[in-house]
Structure 1
C-alpha cells in the first residue's frame, strides 16, 4: 500500500510534460473514477464505462449533486420532465423596437401616411388598429370617388372627423351605433344621392358646423331645424334644395345670425319662402346669391333685403324677371357693392346699365349674361372702363369648390380654399 501511494504521489507531482502517454493516463483516469463511483454508490455494472451524465454528477460539487437529486418534478419516479422557460422578448438588433415607442411618436409617423396605407397599417396588430382610429389622424377626409359609401361614411363620422368632403356620392341608409354629437366643422355633400332620413341622422347630430354645402339635395323641416342649432354657421350653400317650409327657413336664419355667405338660389320657393329669407337675414351677410326666382322676387323684397343687409359686397339677382331699372336707386344704398349679377333680368334695358359706374363707385364685376348681346358688349365696356363684364359665368358664393376650377386639377379637390389630408386616389 505504501508503494502504491508513493507511486501515485510521485506521478501526481510530476511536471505536465513528463506525464506518461495518453493510454496510461486513460487507465489511471479509469481507476480514479472507479474509486469515486464506488464511494458514491454507483452500480458496479457501469464500471467499464462512464456516461456523460454520471461523469458530470461525479465531477460536480457535493451540494449541486444533492440539489439535482432532490428536484421533485423533473426526477419524480424516474421520469424526466422538460420544463418550459418563459418566452423572452426579442430585442431589435438596432436597439429600437416599434413596441417600445410611445403612442405619441407612432401617431407622428402615422400622420404622414396616405389613406390607403393607413388602412393597411390598421391590420398589423390591435395596438396599431387602435392608433389608426385616433381622431387626430382623421381630422380632414375626402371620400369623393367612393361608390356605395354608406358604411365608409359611417366609420369616418365615428372617428371624429372635422372636415369631410364627399360630393356627388351615393349614400345608403346610415345606422349610427352611438348618439354622441359629431364634431364636423366643414361638410360638403353637394349633388349627392342620399335619403332624407339618412341626411337627418347626420345633420341632427351636428352643432359645430361653420361651412356647409347641401346643394341639390332634398331636405326636410327636421333638417332645417337641426341646422338652426349650428349658431356658428359662416357659409351655407342650399342652392337647388327643396322639401322645407318657409316657417322653418325663417327660424333658421333667425338663429344663425353669423352667416356671411349664403347661396339659396334656384330652390323650390314660393313668394313666402323669398320673404322669409329677406326678412330674417342678419346684417353679417356680405355675399348673397338669391337668383332664380323669376316671379317671386319683387322690388319690395329687394328693399327689405337692402335694409337688413347693408354690408353686401357680392349680390346675385340673376333670373329675377320682375326687376327693372327702378331697382338701381334701391341697390345704390349698398355702399360696399363690388360684384353685381343681373343675368337674364330681361326687363332691364341696356341704356340703364351705362349709369352703373356712377351709381356704384366701387363696382368692379358685372354679370349681364343673356341681357346684353355680344355685339353691344364693346360699347358697354367702353362706358364702364373700370368694370369687368361677364368674367364670372358661375357663382362661387358659399360653394366649397367653385365650378370655374379646371376639371382634374388639384384645386378642384379643395374645399373652401384648402385640401383634405386623407383622400382617395393619388395624393
Structure 2
C-alpha cells in the first residue's frame, strides 16, 4: 500500500469506527433478555443480526475514488453546477484575455483595468500600448509616465501641458516615435523623459526650450531618422555638433527658425550626416553664408529637399549654380524651397531653374520681385508638378493661372513638411504616416 493513500485509509477507518460505537451500547441493553450471551465472545454475524437497522450511507456512484471509501467531497456537486452554467472569466488564459482587451478603445481599456488586480496587470500589458494618441488631452501628469512605462512605441501628444510624469522605475523606455511639438513643459521634465530614451527613430520637439543635456541624450539615440527641432532654443553649437556626429542615420532634419547664431549654422554645415536627404535650414537671413551652403551640399550628396527660405543676404541665382557645380544629385521627388520669402529673386532666375530637369516641386511664395504675369513662363517647365506662389497673386486670379498651367498644381503646400509628424494640410491623426491604435476621445 502506498504512503499517499494512508491518510485517506486512516480517515475512512475513523469514520467506520465512529459509526459502530453507538451500536455497542444498544447491544448491552438487549443482552439481558438474550439468554445471557457474552458480548465479548459474540461473533460479528450475530452483532449485525441483532443490531437495529441503521441509516444507509449516501455515496456517489460516480468516480473510482468512491468505490472503496464511503465519503464524498462536499464541494464537488457545486463545481459541476458552475461548469454546466458556462465558462468563467477567471478560467480564461491570459493570452485569450489579451486578445479580447486588444479590441477595446482607450477609455474602455482603462475602465477594465479597475475590475481586479489580474485585469489591471493585463490591461497595462506592453502588447496593448504600442501606439497611443493623446491629442485633445489638455493636461498630462502621471498619465504620461504610465503610458510610456507601459511600453508605448508610438506616442502623439502635441500642444499639451505636461506636468510631472512620475516614473516609478529607472528603466529605459521603449518609445521609438515621439511627438511633443509645441507642448508646455519644463526643461527639467523634458530632460527626464529624453534621458530614458535610447531607441528613438522619429522625434519632434518643435517650439520647445531645450538644453545641452537634452541634446546629449539625443546623441545616444543613434537610430534617429527624422528630427524636427524647428523653433527650438537653449543649446550650444558644441552639443549640436556632437549630436550630429553621433546620429549618422538622419534622413530628414528640420532646424529652421531656431535661436541660432552663425556658430550653430556652421556646426550644422560642418557635421551634418551624409544620409540627410531632406533639410530645412530656413530663417537665417544673416547667419547662413555661401560657404555654409557649399559645405552642406558637399556633405549631403543625396540631398533632394532643401529649404533655405529667408536667407536674405545671398543672390539666389548663385545658389543654383553652386548646387549644380557641387554635383547635387536630383531625384524624381526633388523639392526646392530656395526662393520662398525672398525679395531678391526675379524672373532672371527662371532659365537657371529650367536647367534642373528633375525639378518636380518649386516654391516661390512671397518673392515679390516676380511679376504675377511672368508666372505663365512656368509652362516651359514640362516636368514641374507643383508650384507654390502664396502671396504673389490674388485669389481671384488663381483660376486664370491654373488654366494657363494645366499640368501644374498650384498652392498645394503652404508650409514645409520636412521631418514634421503630420502635414498641416492633412486632417487625419497620423504620426509620420503611422496610425495610433489607442486614441483619446474627449
Q: Which category describes the TM-score, using the shorter chain as reference length?
A: 0.7 to 0.9
Correspondence list, 1:200-239, <5 A: 200-239=191-230
Deviation at 1:157, TM superposition (A): 1.2
Given that 2:129 and 2:438 are in contact with CA atoms closer than 8 Å, whether structure 1 keeps it comes out as yes
TM-fit CA distance, 1:167: 0.6
* CA distance, structure 1, for counterparts of residue 115 and residue 160 of structure 2: 30
Deviation at 1:312, TM superposition (A): 0.6
Alpha-carbon separation, structure 2, partners of 1:210 and 1:92: 50
CA contact (8 A) 1:188 1:213 kept: yes
TM-score by length of 1: 0.77
After TM superposition, the structure 1 = structure 2 runs for residues 276-315 of structure 1, keeping only pairs within 5 Å, are 276-315=267-306
- CA distance in structure 2 between the partners assigned to 1:268 and 1:124 by the alignment: 50
Q: 2:90 aligns with which of 96, 99, 103?
A: 99
CA RMSD of the aligned region, Å? 2.4
**Which one of 387, 390, 402 corresponds to residue 389 of structure 1?**
387
Q: Which moved more, 1:302-311 or 1:318-327?
A: 318-327
- Which of these residues, 329, 336, 345, is aligned with residue 335 of structure 1? 329
Contact 1:323-1:348 within 8 A present in 2 as well: no
1:346 CA drift (Å): 2.1
Q: Name the larger-Rg structure.
A: 1
**Cα deviation 1:172-221 (Å, max 9, x = unaligned):** 13332211001110000011101100000000010100000000011000
Deviations 1:21-62 (CA, angstroms, capped at 9, x unpaired): xxxxxxxxxxxxxxxx997969xxxxxxxxxxxxxx965259
Is 2:396 aligned against 1:375?
no
Render the CA deviation track for 1:97-116: whole Å, top value 9, x for unaligned: 22111111111111111100
Deviation at residue 352 of structure 1 after TM alignment: 1.2
Q: Which residue of 2 aligns with 1:30?
A: none
CA distance in 1, matches of 2:314, 2:365: 15
- Is the CA contact (8 Å cut-off) linking 2:358 and 2:383 kept in structure 1? no
Q: How many Å separate the matches in 2 of 1:41 and 1:424?
A: 85
Q: Deviations over 1:382-405 (max 9, x none)?
A: 342432211321111111101111
Q: 1:323 to 1:63 in 2, by over 3 A?
A: closer
2:420 maps to 1:420: no
Q: What is the distance in 1 between the residues matched to 2:216 and 2:258?
A: 17
Which segments of 5 or more consecutive residues in structure 1 lack a partner in the other structure? Answer: 1-36, 43-56, 65-83
User: TM-score scaled to structure 2, two decimals?
Assistant: 0.75
Partner of 2:318: 326
Counterparts of residues 126-275 of structure 1 (less than 5 Å): 126-275=117-266
Offset, 1:148? 1.7
Distance 2:56 2:362 in 1: 108
- Residue 86 of structure 1 and its aligned partner are, at CA, apart by 6.0
Q: Secondary structure at the match of 1:141?
A: strand
Q: Distance in 1 between matches of 2:107 and 2:28?
A: 72
> Can you give the 5+ residue segments of structure 2 that lack an aligned partner in the other structure?
1-24, 31-50, 59-72, 389-410
Q: Which residue of 2 aligns with 1:112?
A: 103
Contact 1:144/1:166 (<8 A) preserved: yes
Does the 8 A contact of 1:216 with 1:238 survive in 2?
yes
**In the alignment, is the contact (CA less than 8 A) between 1:364 and 1:386 conserved in 2?**
yes
Cα deviation 1:266-313 (Å, max 9, x = unaligned): 000000000101110111001111111111111111000000001111
Distance 1:300 1:339 in 2: 22
Q: How does 1:28-39 map to 2 (within 5 A)?
A: none
**Partners of 1:173 and 1:197 within 8 A in 2:** no
The number of aligned residues is 351
Distance of aligned partners of 1:155 and 1:39 in 2 relative to their CA distance in 1, 3 Å threshold:
same
Structure 1 residue 374 displacement after superposition: 6.4
3-state SS in 2 of match to 1:339? strand
Q: CA 1:307–1:38 in structure 2 vs 1: closer, same or farther (change >3 Å)?
A: closer
Give the Cα separation in 2 of the matches to 1:376 and 1:369.
15
Distance in 1 (CA, whole Å) between partners of 2:138 and 2:168 is: 22
Which residue pairs with 1:400 in the alignment? 421
- Paired residue for 1:366? 362
| SS in structure 2 at match of 1:136 | helix
